[in-house]
Amino acid sequence: MKITVIRPPLVGMRGDLFGSIPSIPVNVSYIAGALMDGGHDVDVIDCYGEEPRWYRRYNDTLIMRGISPDDLLERFDGKTEVVGISVNEAVSHAVSLDIMQVLRSRYSHLKFVFGGHHATAVADELVNKQNVDYVVLSEGEITILELVNALEKKEPVDSIDGIVWKHGSNKRKHYVEDPSSLNVYHTDVLPLENYWRIRYAHGPTNGRYMNVVTSRGCPYNCKFCPSPMMSQRKWRPRSPESVVEEFEYYIDKYGVRDFHINDENFSSSPERTRKICDLITEKQLNVTFCMPSGIKVETVSVDLLNRLRKAGCKFLTLSAETGSERLLKLMGKPVDLEHLMKMTRHAHKIGIRTSCFFMIGYPGETNADWALTRKYVARLTRAGIDEIVCPIMIPVPGAVAHENFEFGSYDDYGQLTFTPKWRNDYRTLELKRRLLYLVFFLRKAFWHPWRTFLMLPHVLFWKHTTKGEMTINRILDDFRRVKRQPAWNSPVPEEDHPSTSDSTS
């Protein structure tokens, strides 16, 4: 059967400097690969990756990067029978529906399958309100193949685990038990050279890198995060051998020696982390790697940091979220703030760059909590944290904190970026955030003048060591190289586009 798997263009708020930096969507290659291994004929259209410098207005508040749904039509193979769309982030909601609408208006026979974090969270809405044919819940590799096989043979789909469709829904019962058994080697379907050419990614990079996923799920239960809904807190690691094999494969195949580990919780098992590091060191792979999406600090120790450094770890993201124990309890996130301080100090000493997340505006945050956060950031700066990243809290569907959110309502899931201008306390939060960044920078310059000075050559010569340095170049690069395209007008009527009705209060 002919299937086209699509990664939608990237959507963001106009003028938002705080959005994530795009990177290689390996998850899309896993879905396409599973179908290819199952004997199907698969095309992948990575709308962002095909033209990463294309930029256009999407509506009054949003912009779109990459090829538009109309451009996609030109690349689309009319023999396709099933279209899979990856809707991982809430911001991709509307544009994914646009793609479906545009394709359906030309090819009425197409069946649409949506998957990803966001699609899983709003599956009923997609099927019942937006006419999506099927939503695959949570991990897609096994299910998409079962579904496509059933469609090909015109068999009923009602026994397939983890799907929602017009006439029913099967909650996911089975998760991939051993992710080492999955084939992750179909990255050729992605426009890798385009990603390497732009020279920025989710973690600090200078060019050729590869995103790697070494485990599935996360055992924690933070209320602002969709992960518990996605994986029911089942953390499933790949074996150290299979992770290192993957590194070796990319070294041989693409000459890539920089790896970005995008797990939700890479280091849940200290024993596994130790083994991965030791294998890399023993094999003298001469690689660098980083964890741009964060590790749980309690799972690392001085010994593990030393091993990580020796193996080539250059950058770690930690998540304190706040300096207030009271607020951490409200968030449902256990963090040992003193351990985080100690690990930051040690990472600084041995040359691992560190970034720390602080969430601003979590429901229930008081001035006293904010004062504790400022104080904690001050201490952390002295301990040697290289950068802080401060998203404003957004109620992501699928997260517990999405329910009963009382700080304003958004018109479109596209506005669920870390710069939520629709929040009625946005101005105050934005001011707090900017002041926190400014004070952090001044303190860093005072306590660590050499590191602060080094940012200049790192930015000038594109030798990024932190996300912040890379962000400066991304913004400058956007000014110089971005190719403006005509605005895209959505064919989906405004009232059907967003989900104002059942989103926020």
Q: List residues near ligand SF4 by CB under 6 A.
A: 218, 220, 222, 225, 227-228, 264-265, 296, 333
Q: What sign for the dihedral angle of Cα 183, 184, 186, 189?
A: positive
The two tokens of residue 352 are 């691992």
Contact in structure between 96 and 85 (CB atoms under 8 Å)? yes
If one asks whether residue 63 binds ligand B12 (CB under 6 A), the answer comes out as no
Size of the chain in residues: 505
Site string for ligand B12, 237-266 (x = CB under 6 A): -------------------------xxx--
Q: 321 with 335: CB under 8 angstroms? A: yes
Q: Which does 36 bind (CB under 5 to 8 A by kind): ligand B12, ligand SF4, none?
A: none
For residue 384, state whether it binds ligand B12 (rule: CB under 6 A): no
Least separation, in Å, of the C-beta of 319 and ligand B12? 10
Shortest Cβ distance from residue 414 to ligand B12 (Å)?
A: 9
| Cα separation, 134 vs 113, whole angstroms | 5
Q: Which amino acid is at 197?
A: R
Residue placing its CB nearer to ligand SF4 in the complex, 66 or 237:
237
CB of 191 to ligand B12, least distance (A): 13
d(CA 244, CA 174): 27
Q: Which amino acid is at 437?
A: Y
> How many Å is the Cα radius of gyration of the chain?
22
Quote the CA–CA distance of 426 and 361 in Å, as a whole number.
Answer: 9
The site partner of 90 among ligand B12, ligand SF4, none (C-beta below 5 to 8 Å per kind) is: ligand B12
Residues between 26 and 45 that touch ligand B12 (CB under 6 A): 26-27, 30-31
By CB under 6 A, tell whether 280 contacts ligand B12. Answer: no
Size of the site for ligand B12 (CB under 6 A): 47
Beta carbons of 260 and 210 less than 8 angstroms apart:
yes
Could you say whether residue 52 binds ligand B12 (CB under 6 A)?
no
Q: Shortest approach of ligand B12 to residue 429 CB, angstroms?
A: 14
Nearer to ligand SF4, 70 or 336 (CB): 336
For ligand B12, the closer of residues 126 and 340 by Cβ is: 126
Q: Return the range that interacts with ligand B12 (CB under 6 A); candidates 55-63, 139-147, 151-159, 449-457.
A: 139-147
Q: Does residue 12 bind ligand B12 (CB under 6 A)? A: yes
Q: Residues 293-312: x/- map of binding to ligand B12 (CB under 6 A)?
A: x-------------------
Q: Give the C-alpha distances (Å, rounded to integers) separating 39 from 36, 85, 335.
A: 5, 20, 46
Which of ligand SF4, ligand B12, none interacts with 10 (beta carbon under 5 to 8 A by kind)? ligand B12
Out of ligand B12, ligand SF4, none, what residue 27 binds, judged by CB under 5 to 8 A for its kind, is ligand B12
Q: Quickly list DSSP for 82-108.
A: EEEEE--SGGGHHHHHHHHHHHHHH-T
Contact region for ligand B12 (CB under 6 A) — 11-19, 74-82, 457-465, 479-487?
11-19
Distance from C-alpha of 13 to C-alpha of 189, rounded to nearest angstrom: 29
Query: With CB cut-offs between 5 and 8 Å by kind, which of ligand B12, ligand SF4, none does residue 333 bind?
Result: ligand SF4
What is the spatial distance between Cα 48 and Cα 54, in angstroms, rounded to a whole number? 8
Asked if 392 and 418 touch (Cβ cutoff 8 Å), the reply is yes
Query: Given the complex with ligand SF4, which of 208 and 223 has the nearer CB atom?
Result: 223
Residue with tokens 């560190």: 354
C-alpha span between 407 and 409 (Å, rounded): 7
Segment holding 407, helix H or strand E? none
d(CA 78, CA 94): 23
Whole-number minimum distance, CB 466 to ligand SF4, in Å?
20
Contact of residue 504 among ligand B12, ligand SF4, none (CB under 5-8 Å per partner type): none
CA distance 153 to 168: 20
Which residues, including other chains, have CB under 8 Å from residue 211's CB and lie 6 or more apart?
23, 24, 25, 26, 201, 202, 259, 260, 262
**Cβ neighbours for 39, distance < 8 A, ≥ 6 positions apart:** none
Strands 134-136 and 387-389: unpaired
Does residue 22 interact with ligand B12 by CB under 6 A? yes
Instruction: Confirm or reject binding of residue 389 to ligand B12 (CB under 6 A).
Output: no
> Should residue 355 be labelled a site residue for ligand B12 when binding is judged by CB under 6 A?
no
59 is a site residue for ligand B12 (CB under 6 A): no
Distance CA 52, CA 55 (A): 8
Least distance to ligand SF4 from the beta carbon of 425, Å? Answer: 22
Using the minimum distance from each CB to ligand B12, give the nearer residue, 203 or 384. 203
Binds 115, which of ligand B12, ligand SF4, none (CB < 5 to 8 A, cut-off by type)? ligand B12
Nearer to ligand SF4, 207 or 270 (CB): 270
Binding site for ligand B12 (CB under 6 A): 5, 7, 10-12, 19-23, 25-27, 30-31, 84-86, 88-92, 113, 115-118, 136, 139-141, 144, 202, 213, 225-227, 262-264, 293, 396, 398, 416-418
